[in-house]
Structure 1
């Protein structure tokens, strides 16, 4: 808490009101419940949710004590209020807010899918109050007013929530507060008023940890990063969903705070992953080699962390078309993994797939296909059908079939990859752009230009939002416009 108080005094140095609130927080923090502080009229509420919404990791790390205490407070209240409830006790709550036109259009496209709130989520039992908030957002011409109508079943194992009426600073409000990362199923979406196309109602239903679409994927991802702790787990998750800039911000902060060589090696490795994802291949190799150098000093020669570094280096050399270096590094990686991991471990499958990419680049398509199919078989035995690695295998197999001249098999594989990616990846993930681009190329080969152009344009649009302006993949998507008559 001490670091947070110092941070706040610097941030609000010219704000006498908030400086008094900081004194009060330092003096009386343990005299009130965390929920009381969350609803108290001061900087805490806005600072916390702004940091969570925009992933300002310097602020989030400093507020870690309060995030932890607030979550525990909600968990305890939830247990006290809803213990012994039955399924028939479902109830409806409301939330009114403004969404940007881009966010609202994306919401419309994902009807029937899942919607996640990254912040602590305030809702109300009063529909009229919530509708007023939705209407107020219309004062900004760039926003769409949305009334979320949420059906809640208290018996579900899900993000904890609780009525905070009796513990809030404002004890007259009928507020229900959710902890972070609540997930809802998007239902019916309708216009509230016929003469107003900027005011909409969206039905949401709280999902449980047993929701099939959530459970298989989240359990697998949780297992893959379960050995990580705290902020490192968040960093790895951000990489998995394609939020490279935010992940880089977090890892740089963690590196500055670290005095542990093993942790520094871990951070260097993941900065390599990030730079690879951003298309900065020289920096990616640099970070991987720094991680490898540290780990060679502190780990055994066959430790699987070394295998991960060799794997990353090999994958980057593949993208640089330096196939001899790529193959040497990837075979070293596979050798280490085979010595230290079980035969069906997903890391071994990833190595097979990466070696397949090398043989693809070298023009040895039969060997490439063999490695990719071996990877896919391991994934099928160990991963849910909607795991991102399954999509990657189908994508890579489709690429090989394309070069072998088997267009129908190539399209089938890429459509399978896209189907998985659209189900489980965030709408801004760069892997989606890659799938749109490949399918667009296939339609161009089939002379179905209008349909192909739609996919290429989607790839370019998404690439502009999710990749650096100089990323080689984005350049490829733009160049593919030449495949279509009358577009250049």
Structure 2
């Protein structure tokens, strides 16, 4: 389990979107190729992979997941590390696993309700690192979510055996997790999988990845050398629903590219997904929505190339996005301005400040109705003139930045204003003219930031 934040919620929703896509035999072959590569030096593992290829059907997903084999290890590793690239590779099996658990969930809920049960408790014993345990201790009242399919049991004594006796302290803590589940709460599926499990004698309750709990209490046991952590199931939040709606509107390959680049900082894999999107969606007559997705993909590739310092390649990608924007979205000033700004940023990164200034100025013209954005661009251009030691032009841009912010109905972005005043003062002072600079500093000091 791990502390829940917006990045965690985004990962869970991307996970759901990956699993909701249609599957083909090609996906299964991709997965098997990866498994054989990972087990290339393990003959017994390779034999089990061959067995899986021959005998597997979608209704046996839980049976294979609960078997002590390559699949359990590789799938859990991908989920635990939140490696969306590996999850994408295993999407065929993970989709089957999730669907089977969902099917069992309905009958399991009915069975419990028919027995008069609305709230029940399951347990999980585990040795966890001291660092992970400290995070739990310090976040009572906060939300945690499962980052794998979580195995639990009704039997407290069985769970205690897995918790250990605290013998590995101080590096590891022995913990008994107690999960309180209310059937009236809308949540991810869970079910008793005893009849489907490879280990049929175990009374196992499996919880879906992304199931969210609130940490209620953490306390040491008086009867054994184990910590007790009590958690209560919580429902999907409004923020999750809004984020899911936002993500559901975008193609999966773009979501993967964006997540890998912005969250995981794995730029090579992100680039692969952006390129894969462009290849798979190439068409002679794309819709306007598809063109917007093309632009997003090219911009993503441009950002990656800029980060890598591959400026010529970055310009190629950004210029491709610009051409599409100019041809299909030229009446959208914001889109055109952003296209100019992306190209200008590459020239700025190359320290080609003159070209950067010229292109940023085109963006300013397109943002005439947005004084805040204009002010930010004036500030940026002022910095570029300062880099060229053109102090007069720099000072002029900083003054325009301040003027733009005061025109704004909300009377400015104070921090940007303050920076602009300070820059005006610095340049005025540097040129030997202190009057306006001192006035700028006096105003700067009065700004409430």
> Do the structures match in fold with TM over 0.5?
yes
2:240 to 218, 221, 228: 218
Q: What is the deviation of 1:238? A: 5.8
The DSSP-based 3-state class of the residue aligned with 1:158 is coil
Match of residue 254 from structure 2 = 232
CA distance in 1, matches of 2:312, 2:408: 24
Choose the corresponding residue for 1:328, options 350, 361, 378. Answer: 361
Aligned residue in 2 for 1:270: 300
Q: 1:11 to 1:184 in 2, by over 3 A?
A: same
Cα distance 1:113–1:12, how it changes in 2: closer, same or farther (>3 A)?
same
Measure how far apart 1:224 and its partner are.
3.1
Which of 14, 25, 35 aligns to 2:41? It is 14
Q: 1:129 aligns with which of 131, 151, 158?
A: 158
* 185-194 vs 170-179, greater mean Cα deviation: 185-194
Instruction: Give the corresponding residue for 1:187.
Output: 216
Deviation at 1:269, TM superposition (A): 2.1
Q: 1:147: which partner in 2?
A: 176
TM normalised by structure 1 equals: 0.62
Distance 2:409 2:205 in 1: 49
Structure 1 equivalent of residue 376 of structure 2: 357
Could you tell me how far apart the structure 2 residues matched to 1:408 and 1:193 are?
58
Change (3 A) 1:31 1:78: closer
Q: Deviations over 1:144-172 (max 9, x none)?
A: 33322111112222111111111111112
Q: CA deviation at 1:233?
A: 2.5
Identify the residue that residue 73 of structure 1 maps to in structure 2. 100
Task: Name the CA distance, whole Å, in 1 between partners of 2:376 and 2:78.
Answer: 39
Q: Residues 231, 194 of structure 1: CA spacing in aligned structure 2 closer, same or farther, 3 A cutoff? A: farther
**TM-score normalised over the length of structure 2:** 0.67
User: 1:236–1:117: structure 2 CA closer, same or farther, 3 Å change rule?
Assistant: farther
Q: How many angstroms does 1:67 deviate by?
A: 0.9
Quote the residue 2:265 is aligned against: 245
Distance 1:119 1:317, change over 3 A: farther
CA RMSD of aligned residues (A): 4.0
Find the counterpart in structure 2 of residue 293 from structure 1.
320
Structure 1 residues 272 and 185: CA distance shift in structure 2, 3 A: farther
Q: CA deviation at 1:22?
A: 0.9
1:201 aligns with 2:228: yes
d(CA) in 2 for partners of 1:81, 1:112: 29
| Cα deviation digits, residues 179-222 of structure 1 (max 9, x gap) | 221221122122335996xx43222111112xxxx31x223323
Indicate how the Cα distance of structure 1 residues 236 and 407 shifts in structure 2: closer, same or farther if over 3 A, else same: farther
Does the Cα contact within 8 Å between 2:82 and 2:147 map onto a contact in 1?
Answer: no
Corresponding residue for residue 45 of structure 1: 72
How far apart in 2 are the matches of 1:19 and 1:317? 51
Q: Is the 8 A contact 1:137 1:143 kept in 2?
A: yes
CA distance in 1, matches of 2:108, 2:313: 53
Q: Deviations over 1:234-273 (max 9, x none)?
A: 443566xx52424x35413324645245677543423555
| 1:34 maps to 2:56 | no
Aligned-residue offset at 1:30: 1.3
Deviations 1:431-471 (A, max 9, x none): xxxxxxxxxxxxxxxxxxxxxxxxxxxxxxxxxxxxxxxxx
Would the alpha carbon gap of residues 175 and 309 (structure 1) be closer, same or farther in structure 2, given more than 3 Å must change?
farther
* Structure 1 residues 252 and 274: CA distance shift in structure 2, 3 A: closer
Count, aligned residues: 363
- Separation (CA, whole Å) in 1 of partners of 2:191 and 2:153: 11
1:68 Cα deviation after fit? 0.8
Matched, 1:101 2:130: yes
2: CA distance, partners of 1:245 / 1:168: 37
Distance across 1 between alignment mates of 2:446 and 2:130: 38
Contact 2:146/2:210 (<8 A) preserved: yes
Q: Which stretch shows the higher mean deviation, 30-39 or 295-304? A: 295-304
Structure 2 gap ranges (5+): 1-27, 283-290, 383-397, 423-442
Partners of 2:311 and 2:245 lie apart in 1 by: 26
Name the residue aligned to 1:178.
207
Q: Does 1:115 align with 2:116?
A: no
Q: Which runs of 5+ in 1 are unaligned?
A: 339-350, 376-395, 411-488
8 A Cα contact 2:257 2:271, kept in partner: no
- Structure 1 residues 31 and 358, CA gap change in structure 2 (3 angstroms): closer
Query: 3-state DSSP class of the match of 1:123?
Result: strand
Between the aligned partners of 2:232 and 2:258, the Cα distance in structure 1 is 29
